[in-house]
Structures are given as structure tokens and as C-alpha cells.
A and B are shown apart, each in its own frame.
Chain A
């Protein structure tokens, strides 16, 4: 089974980069591929819990929950969360199934993936 990795930089609700990442990841999952996403810098905000549902706007938290439920692996830059105050509430600050990680995980994802996409 082939594997696609994402190095993903963008926070939610400012551009459509999160939606692009989500749609590409879903397409890869539908094709039976393994999906590994590393959320770097502002992208860690995409997995914060409690994102308000706004009609007509893609809820990024829900979409990431769905990706994880469908088997995507989501790793989060721990330092990026620390500087953004996301670790104050422990793991409750981000969605279940997403994992704390560090930059060495990027090396792992590159080694484990057939292709790596960078989305900023």
C-alpha cells in the first residue's frame, strides 16, 4: 500500500489550504493509500477543539476528526502548540487521535512516504 505524506503549514479560516489538504487526504484514503499529516506552525490550530460551526464554512476540526476516524495519521508539532498556548489544557486542547510530535517525525514521514506534499 502506498503512502502519502503532508507537511502542512496553514491555520484554519484564513485561506483554503486546510480544505485543500483535507480533500487531498480524503482522496488518497479513498484510493486505499496511507495518509500521514504533519501539522506545523499555525496548522496546529486546525485540530483545536471547540471550533464554532458556521453555516457555509467548512468546520476544520470536524474534518480532521473524520480524517483520523478514516485512518489518517495526524502528528502535531509540540513546540508549535506550546508557543501557541495549546498545551495548557493538556491533550484536551486538541482532538483525540492526533498525536504530539516533533521535527524528527518529519524525517520519519519522509522516509515512510512514497510522496510528500508541502501545503503552505
Chain B
């Protein structure tokens, strides 16, 4: 039985390659039951205005294959952002739900 994998993005898309690499790995492990969680400054990776050249194809793949990309509502709100600022295809979730998602995982891969 395949494992539940949660790829946790924590770092910003500018000044680091971590969100791009995390999404690349999410694609690579997508044969398993995979979810992507975005917390902290990584939420900036999903703003409409953000240059996604390095990872848009990964994000498109995740969307097409219905792999959830969950954005932490608390992280958005503390940065003055809402769902309206985000690209389509990602889901804003309450912090408690984000924690539940992580807790239910067999493996968490943090970027």
C-alpha cells in the first residue's frame, strides 16, 4: 500500500529555490497519496503576481492530477493576504486542518 506523503513548503519563492524543488518532488512522489502544504513565507509562491517560471509546470501537473495544494490560512492572514490573492487551483485551509493533514501523513518532506 502506498504511503501518505505530505510535502511541506516553508520558504519563500524569492531568494530560495525550495518551493520550486518541493513542488518538483511532489510531482516525483505523486504515484503515492500526496498532498502539498504551504505555510509561512512559502505562501508567496502562490500569489497571482509571483513569477512562477521555475515551477508553473509542476503546479499545473499537480492541478491536473488533482493533488491538493493546501495553503495555511493563518500564514496568509498574518501577511495581509486572502484567497483572492492566490492563483486558481490551490485551496486555503484552516491551520487546524493543515496540522491534521501533517499528522495523518506517513512521511513529511519539508522544503
Contacts and interface: CB of A to CB of B under 8 A. Distances in A.
Interface of A: 7, 40-41, 102-104, 106-107, 110-111, 113, 116, 118, 120
A7 B109 contact: yes
B21 A40 contact: yes
B109 A111 contact: no
Interface of B: 2-3, 5, 17, 21, 24-25, 27-29, 31-32, 106-110
A102 B24 CA distance: 11
B109 A118 contact: yes
Contacts of B28: 102-104, 106-107
B24 A116 contact: no
A106 B25 CA distance: 8
Report, nearest first, the 7 A-B pairs whose CB atoms are least far apart. Answer: A103-B28, A107-B29, A116-B107, A118-B110, A110-B107, A104-B28, A103-B25
Contact of B108 (A102, A118, A120): A118
Contacts, number: 37
Contacts of A107: 28-29, 31-32
B3 A106 contact: no
B2 A111 contact: yes
Nearest to A120: B110
Contacts of A110: 3, 5, 29, 32, 106-107, 109
Given A40-B21, A41-B17, 12 more contacts: A41-B21, A103-B24, A103-B27, A104-B28, A106-B109, A107-B29, A110-B106, A111-B2, A111-B32, A116-B107, A118-B108, A120-B110
B28 to A, nearest CB: 3
Contacts of A106: 25, 28-29, 109
Contacts of B2: 111
B47 to A, nearest CB: 24
